[in-house]
């Protein structure tokens, strides 16, 4: 007998919520076979077993918050008492469709928990899902399990709508279930629901969008996603622990905008987009090499400041799941075109939740640009253990007094929040001034 415990998933990730149990008691599983799907603060990942064997016991269920080191399943060499090991119960044609042949290196890549997450979304058009729910006791005799063919995105939609895929009749070839089928089933459930009664999930729990009523009117109670729960925790901790100040300034980016327009096509030809964010990332990366206390962590217990020699730039991305901050590693060593490609790619994959855990870790400073949406200044919250964050707001054309006359200039508002315990106001003013000058006169960067 061996216990499989939740392994380390990466820096600062100590737990996650089980979104799916992928095996059941009696299953014979291979080494590296995914056993649970876990939503961490950063992404949804499948966690593979570290050994082969027969599942004797499952110690977690959907919705459980599990911590690193916690036992997930118990494996043994033989089937548990009264149970024959189950290998593969899917009909052969379903199996064939569900499991396209993989090159060994692809299979190996996919076996790593941090790499596998939702990448399957694009890689495999349809995957097989065993219909049986995780259970501790053997399946009821006579109750046949059937293979459910549905793409990962469809499975996710079903989870969101509280639809049991087993109950859905697939309209596609071989009974494949489409998003439309799931929505149709969700609609049927809604019609059949008595007024005022909350919809139920497949497992009998309350569905995510339950309408309730208090004495002032109706309201909807929504469970927090893993990303939201972690944001809540991190922001609260940062707010309580870091006494920060936000220094604002604005940069005249009229010339820079001309440069952006002039060279945007060239970057586009390389497959990227030369955006304000990309340029700011580049300039901040240069600044951090000169103002090392902004590229540092604080160790309060040891009373030390850790000045980082590498510049890993977090870029805040607004996604439908909540705020995600993928990291451009070694941002200071990359060209604008490389940064454009990487920022664009990371933002896209953060939104699709196919970004890898390693790409969400190791940041030393963060840039958050709300300019695409609008607004003037804001007070961004520092992402612990970092010590500063730069907020960028919408550039607007303003009348600016230049050499005895007003000129229409494009002004970019900047908001620098910094940890005032280790950074003094004067240092922050110098840092943001340097950024402003570099944005206005990029040659400034080559001066010192």
| Sites of contact with ligand CAO (CB under 6 A) | 275-277, 315-318, 323, 347, 368-372, 380, 392, 394-395, 412
Active site residue 329: no
For the CB of residue 406, give the shortest distance to ligand CAO in the complex, in Å: 21
For the CB of residue 277, give the shortest distance to ligand CAO in the complex, in Å: 3
Nearer to ligand CAO, 90 or 313 (CB): 313
Which residues is 103 bridged to in the sheet?
none
Give the Cα separation of 356 and 438 in Å (integer).
32
Nearer to ligand CAO, 241 or 351 (CB): 351
For the CB of residue 410, give the shortest distance to ligand CAO in the complex, in Å: 8
Nearer to ligand CAO, 31 or 379 (CB): 379
Radius of gyration (C-alpha) of the chain in whole angstroms: 26
Nearer to ligand CAO, 29 or 315 (CB): 315
Helix axes 152-161, 179-192, angle to 10 degrees: 10
Which residues is 392 bridged to in the sheet?
369, 414
For the CB of residue 73, give the shortest distance to ligand CAO in the complex, in Å: 37
For the CB of residue 215, give the shortest distance to ligand CAO in the complex, in Å: 33
- Give the 3-state secondary structure of residue 426: helix
For the CB of residue 153, give the shortest distance to ligand CAO in the complex, in Å: 21
Strands 34-39 and 15-21: antiparallel
Give the Cα separation of 248 and 412 in Å (integer).
11
For the CB of residue 419, give the shortest distance to ligand CAO in the complex, in Å: 16
Nearer to ligand CAO, 165 or 389 (CB): 389
Residue matched to tokens 């118990």: 74
| CA distances for 263 relative to 102, 252, 334, 400, angstroms | 41, 19, 17, 26
Which residue from 295, 233, 283 is spatially nearest to 412, judged by alpha carbons?
283
Helix axes 425-440, 276-290, angle to 10 degrees: 130
Helices and strands (DSSP H and E) totals, the chain: 11, 23
Nearer to ligand CAO, 277 or 364 (CB): 277
Which residue from 278, 412, 444, 248 is spatially nearest to 345, judged by alpha carbons?
278
Handedness of CA 256, 262, 267, 272 (dihedral sign): positive
Helix axes 254-269, 425-440, angle to 10 degrees: 70
Asked if residue 371 lies in contact with residue 410, where contact means CB atoms within 8 angstroms, the answer is no
Nearer to ligand CAO, 309 or 320 (CB): 320
Using Cβ positions, the residue closest to ligand CAO within the complex turns out to be 371
Give the Cα separation of 278 and 343 in Å (integer).
7
Which residue from 163, 179, 162, 160 is spatially nearest to 171, judged by alpha carbons?
179
For the CB of residue 259, give the shortest distance to ligand CAO in the complex, in Å: 13
232-240 own/partner pairs: CB under 8 Å, 24+ apart? 234/41, 234/383, 234/384, 235/381, 237/384, 238/381, 238/382, 238/383, 238/384, 239/381
Give the Cα separation of 292 and 430 in Å (integer).
12
Nearer to ligand CAO, 250 or 364 (CB): 250
Give the Cα separation of 340 and 32 in Å (integer).
35
Nearer to ligand CAO, 132 or 238 (CB): 238
For the CB of residue 398, give the shortest distance to ligand CAO in the complex, in Å: 13
Q: Which are the catalytic amino acids?
A: 420
């Amino acid at each position: 007998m061996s216990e499989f415990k939740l392994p380390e998933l990466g820096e600062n990730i100590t737990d996650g919520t089980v979104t799916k149990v992928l095996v059941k008691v009696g299953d014979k599983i291979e080494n590296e076979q995914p056993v649970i799907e876990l939503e961490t603060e950063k992404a949804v990942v499948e966690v593979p077993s570290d050994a082969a064997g027969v599942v004797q016991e499952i110690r977690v269920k959907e919705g459980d918050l599990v911590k690193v080191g916690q036992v997930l399943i118990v494996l043994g060499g033989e089937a548990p008492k009264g149970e024959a090991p189950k290998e593969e119960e899917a009909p052969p044609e379903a199996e064939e469709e569900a499991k396209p042949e993989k090159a060994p290196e692809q299979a190996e890549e996919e076996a790593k928990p941090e790499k596998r997450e939702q990448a399957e979304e694009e890689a495999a058009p349809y995957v097989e899902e065993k219909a049986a729910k995780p259970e501790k006791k053997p399946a009821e005799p006579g109750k046949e399990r059937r293979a459910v063919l549905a793409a990962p995105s469809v499975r996710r939609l079903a989870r969101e709508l509280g639809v049991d895929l087993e109950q859905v009749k697939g309209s596609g070839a071989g009974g494949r279930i489409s998003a439309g089928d799931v929505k149709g089933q969700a609609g049927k459930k809604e019609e059949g629901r008595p007024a005022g009664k909350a919809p139920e999930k497949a497992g009998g729990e309350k569905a995510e969008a339950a309408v309730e009523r208090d004495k002032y009117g109706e309201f909807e109670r929504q469970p927090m996603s893993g990303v939201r729960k972690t944001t809540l925790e991190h922001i609260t901790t940062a707010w309580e622990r870091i006494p920060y100040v936000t220094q604002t300034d604005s940069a005249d980016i009229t010339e820079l905008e001309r440069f952006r327009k002039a060279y945007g096509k060239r970057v586009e030809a390389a497959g990227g987009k030369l955006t304000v964010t990309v340029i700011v990332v580049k300039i901040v990366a240069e600044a951090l090499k000169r103002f090392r206390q902004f590229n540092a962590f604080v160790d309060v217990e040891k009373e030390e400041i850790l000045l980082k020699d590498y510049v890993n730039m977090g870029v805040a991305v607004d996604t439908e799941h909540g705020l995600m901050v993928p990291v451009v590693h070694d941002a200071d060593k990359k060209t604008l075109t490389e940064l454009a490609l990487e920022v664009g790619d990371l933002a896209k994959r953060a939104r699709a939740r196919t970004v890898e855990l390693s790409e969400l870790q190791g940041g030393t400073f963060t840039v958050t640009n709300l300019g695409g949406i609008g607004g003037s200044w804001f007070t961004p919250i520092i992402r612990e253990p970092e010590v500063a964050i730069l907020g960028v707001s919408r550039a607007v054309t303003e009348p600016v007094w230049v050499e005895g006359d007003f000129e229409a200039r494009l002004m970019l508002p900047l908001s620098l929040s910094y940890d005032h315990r280790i950074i003094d106001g004067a240092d922050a003013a110098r840092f943001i001034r340097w950024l402003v000058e570099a944005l206005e006169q990029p040659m400034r960067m080559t001066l010192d």
